[in-house]
Amino acid sequence: MRSTFVVLVILFLSVLAVAAAVPTVSYTIHIKSADLSGFDVEMRFRSATPTVRVAMAAHPEYDDRYWRYIENFTAESAGKQLNISKTQDTVWKIDGVSGIVVVRYRLHLPPQVNENRDAWKPFLTSTGGMVGDLHSLMYVVGNSSAPSQLTLDMPADWKAASGLESNRDVRIFAGSAELMLDAPVMVGKFQEWNFTAGRVPHKIVVWSPADAPTFDSAPLVDGLKKIAAEAIRTFGAPPYHRYVFLFQNGGEAALEHLTSVNIGHTFSRGMDGLFEEVAHEYFHAWNLMDVRPVERVGLQTTFARPTGVLWWNEGATIMFADYLLRRAGLPGSEPSRITHLETAMTRYFSSPGYITLSAEQMSRGDTDPGGLGDYGGSTHLQGELLSTILDLAIRDHSDGQRDVTDVMTLLSDRFDYRRGITNHDIEQAALQVCPSCDIHTFFKDHIYGAGQIDFDKYLGLLGMRSEVTRSAALGSDGKPSVDLRIGPLQNDVADGFKIRITNPQSTWGKAGLHTGDRLLSVDGTPVSSWPDLRAWLRKLKIGDVGRLEIVHNGVKKTVEVPIAGYDVPTVKISEISAPTPRQLKLRNVWMSAN
Give the model confidence (pLDDT) of 188-225 as tens digits: 999 999 999 999 999 999 999 999 999 999 999 999 99
Share above pLDDT 70 across residues of the chain, in percent, rounded to a whole number = 95
Q: What is d(CA 445, CA 389) in angstroms, rounded to the nearest whole number? A: 13
pLDDT of residue 7: 42
- Backbone dihedral angles phi then psi of residue 384, each to the nearest 5 degrees: -60, -45
Q: Model confidence over 339-351: pLDDT tens digits?
A: 999 999 999 999 9
pLDDT confidence of residue 167: 82
**Pair 565, 506: CB distance under 8 Å:** no
* 398 to 224, 324, 395, 409: CA distances (angstroms): 32, 22, 5, 17
Q: What percent of the chain has pLDDT over 90?
A: 91
Topology of the domain covering 486-565: Pdz3 Domain (2.30.42)
Within the chain, all domains assigned CATH 2.30.42.10 are found at 486-565
Q: What are the residues whose beta carbons fall under 8 Å from the beta carbon of 593, sequence distance 6 or more?
A: 322, 323, 326, 327, 337
CA neighbor of 487 nearest in space, from 524, 553, 537: 537
Q: Distance between CA atoms of 267 and 250, rounded to whole angstroms?
A: 7
Mean pLDDT, all residues of the chain: 94
User: Do the bridges between strand 25-32 and strand 147-153 make them parallel or antiparallel, or are there none, so unpaired?
Assistant: parallel
In 434-580, which residue ranges form alpha helices assigned H by DSSP? Answer: 439-442, 455-459, 507-510, 530-537
pLDDT, one tens digit per residue, over 128-182 is 999 999 999 999 999 999 999 999 999 999 999 999 999 888 899 999 999 999 9
- Residue 1 has a pLDDT of 46
How far is it, in rounded angstroms, from Cα 550 to Cα 276?
Answer: 41
Helix (H) or strand (E) holding 102: strand 99-108
Which fold would CATH assign to domain 20-188? Immunoglobulin-like (2.60.40)
Mean pLDDT of the region 481-501: 87
Phi, psi (degrees; rounded to nearest 5) at 553: 50, 40
User: Element (H or E) spanning 261, and its range?
Assistant: strand 260-265
Q: Is 399 helix (H, G, I), strand (E, B) or coil?
A: coil
**Average pLDDT for 565-574:** 98
| Helix or strand run (H / E) with residue 202 | strand 200-207
**Residues 363-404 pLDDT 10s:** 999 999 999 999 999 999 999 999 999 999 999 999 999 999
Angle among Cα 165, 178, 98 to the nearest 5 degrees reads: 105
pLDDT tens, residue by residue, 493-518:
567 899 999 999 999 999 999 999 99
Amino acid at 153: D
The helices-and-strands tally (H runs, E runs) of the chain is 17, 29
Say yes or no to pLDDT of 89 above 80: yes
Region(s) of the chain under CATH 2.60.40.3650: 20-188
**How much is the average pLDDT of 241-250?**
98
By three-state DSSP, how is residue 143 classified? coil
Report d(CA 16, CA 10) in Å as an integer: 10
Q: In whole angstroms, what separates CA 346 from the centre of its chain?
A: 24
pLDDT per residue over 109-136, tens digit each?
A: 999 888 889 999 999 999 999 999 999 9
| Local structure of residue 474 (DSSP, 8 states) | B
Confirm if 68 and 30 have CB atoms less than 8 A apart: no
pLDDT score, position 17 = 37
Q: What is the pLDDT of residue 513?
A: 97
Nearest to 132 by CA among 93, 189, 186: 186
pLDDT of residue 12: 42
In the predicted structure, residue 3 carries a pLDDT above the cut 60? no
